[in-house]
Amino acid sequence: RNVRLAEAPSYGLPGVVFDPSSKGAQAFVSFAQEMVTRSKTM
């Protein structure tokens, strides 16, 4: 569980903005990049 990502909504920020260096934020960005890459090959 990533506590920093869980705290982000209480500050009114998305997790990737609140703590971009957290493992959860990095995993989300990696996932988003993969989805963009895959959508371009369709």
Question: What pLDDT, on the 0 to 100 scale, is given for residue 7?
Answer: 95
Radius of gyration of the chain (CA): 12
Question: What pLDDT, on the 0 to 100 scale, is given for residue 22?
Answer: 94
Question: What pLDDT, on the 0 to 100 scale, is given for residue 2?
Answer: 83
Question: What pLDDT, on the 0 to 100 scale, is given for residue 1?
Answer: 80
**17 in Cβ contact with 4 (< 8 Å):** no
Query: Looking at this protein, which amino acid is placed at residue 42?
Result: M
pLDDT in single tens digits along all 42 residues of the chain: 889 889 999 999 999 999 999 999 999 999 999 999 999 988
Question: What pLDDT, on the 0 to 100 scale, is given for residue 42?
Answer: 84
d(CA 4, CA 23) in angstroms, rounded, equals 9
